[in-house]
Amino acid sequence: MAPDNRELLHALSFDIEDWFHIVEVKAVEDPAQWPRLSAESSLVERYTDLILRLCDEGKAKATFFILGWIAERHPALVKRIADAGHEIGTHSFWHRKVYELTPEEFSRDIAHSLAAIRAGAGREVPIEGFRAPSFSITPGTEWAFDVLLDLGLTYDASLFPASRGHGGYACARGPHVLRTPKGRTLPELPMSVAPIGMGPLRKTMCYSGGGYLRLLPPSLIEQGVASESRAGRSTVVYLHPRDFAPDGPRVRMPPHRYFKCYVGVAGTEDKLRRLLRNHRWGPCREVLDPWIRSGDRPGGVLSEPIQ
Ligand SMILES: [Zn+2]
């Protein structure tokens, strides 16, 4: 299968953080430990460079949602990403879940991240998009959309339209425009979900990012891409540098989380290569362009039940 020029443009995105930025794992949750863990065993540069090579090989541009904390410590990495012509977005500064913050704390955190990423790039780079740590914009935290607009961002990629451990938001599937609590509009690129599997095992779930992509065989990932494409919806891939790192440090955590954090890491590189070969990929900003241009015509609904 080779990509065909008429095929939908799908969104390729990476959340740039280190192996110890896993949420709710006691051993690594204290940011005071991060400098030591980073000095001992950081993998963010090595595996982001691998991601840059894979994008190059696949002739695809992507969005890199960079954690401000990483930009501050690895400015040369931010420069390499920007110099390679990829889109840069923010993944916050401290990797805290949005629903645990007040609007003021969230605003300070995002402003801090924007300053750190711009300083890292060493020049003016457009930063238009945000992805929340753990897709943590949940019902009740819609104020975050207004904070993003107030800080000059133009789109969000934080909603996850299925229930999950740390997030979940019953939004429309696929790119859409939502209305914020202050009555403004914001283009949204939610994570992709699709019915995966056959018969009684068929389930609407994420198939194209993180642990889901690592766990599912390529045939089921393709089933998800095909099913969403038939409905005219682009697939969104999201991966982290640690998703490619079979040699990454392992932290102790409950068995079900351990499985989800580390299953299939050795196969991620091949799965991404295959997706890049089979389909057309671009940065989130480009996939959302028609919705960004449509501006004031909100097409999103925020009240569908979570499936
Ligand atoms: Zn993250």
DSSP string of the chain? Answer: ----TTSPEEEEEEEE--TT--TT-GGG--GGGHHHHHHHH--HHHHHHHHHHHHHHTT---EEEE-HHHHHH-HHHHHHHHHTT-EEEE--SS---GGGS-HHHHHHHHHHHHHHHHHHHTS---EEEE--GGG---TT-THHHHHHHHTT--EE----SS-BTTB---PPSSSEEEE-TTS-EEEE-PPPEEEESSGGG-EEEE-SBHHHHHHS-HHHHHHHHHHHHHTT---EEEE-GGGG-TTS------HHHHHHHHTTGGGHHHHHHHHHHHSEEE-HHHHTHHHHHHTT-----S-PPP-
pLDDT at residue 165, as a whole number: 65
- What ranges do the domains of the chain cover? 12-29+36-294
Give the pLDDT confidence score for residue 2 in this predicted structure.
63
Distance 14 CA to ligand 1 centre (A): 9
For residue 28, the tally of other CB atoms under 10 A from its CB is 19
Q: Residue 59 C-alpha to ligand 1 middle, in angstroms?
A: 25
Q: How far is the CA of 134 from the centre of ligand 1 (A)?
A: 6
Residue-level pLDDT at 267: 94
What's the CA gap between 93 and 82, in Å, rounded? 18
Task: Give the global pTM.
Answer: 0.94
- What is the Å distance from ligand 1's center to 243 Cα? 12
Residue 1: predicted pLDDT? 61
Using only the alpha carbons of the chain, give its radius of gyration.
18
* CA–centroid distance, residue 94 to ligand 1 (Å): 10
Residue 289's pLDDT is: 94
In CATH, which superfamily holds the domain spanning 12-29+36-294? Glycoside hydrolase/deacetylase (3.20.20.370)
> Could you tell me the distance, in angstroms and rounded to a whole number, from the CA of residue 67 to the centre of ligand 1?
8
d(CA 189, CA 173): 9
Distance 97 CA to ligand 1 centre (A): 9
**Distance from the alpha carbon of residue 247 to the mean position of ligand 1, in angstroms:** 19
**For residue 185, what pLDDT is reported?**
93
Is the C-alpha dihedral spanning 262, 267, 269, 271 positive or negative?
negative
What spacing in Å lies between the alpha carbon of 132 and ligand 1's midpoint?
A: 7
What pLDDT was estimated at residue 5?
A: 63
Give, for all 307 residues of the chain, the pLDDT tens digit: 666 667 899 999 999 999 999 877 777 889 999 999 999 999 999 999 999 999 999 999 999 999 999 999 999 999 999 999 999 999 999 999 999 999 999 999 999 999 999 999 999 999 999 999 999 999 999 999 999 999 999 999 999 998 766 668 888 899 999 999 999 999 999 999 999 988 888 888 999 999 899 999 999 999 999 999 999 999 999 999 999 999 888 887 887 777 777 788 889 999 999 999 999 999 999 999 999 887 655 555 454 434 3
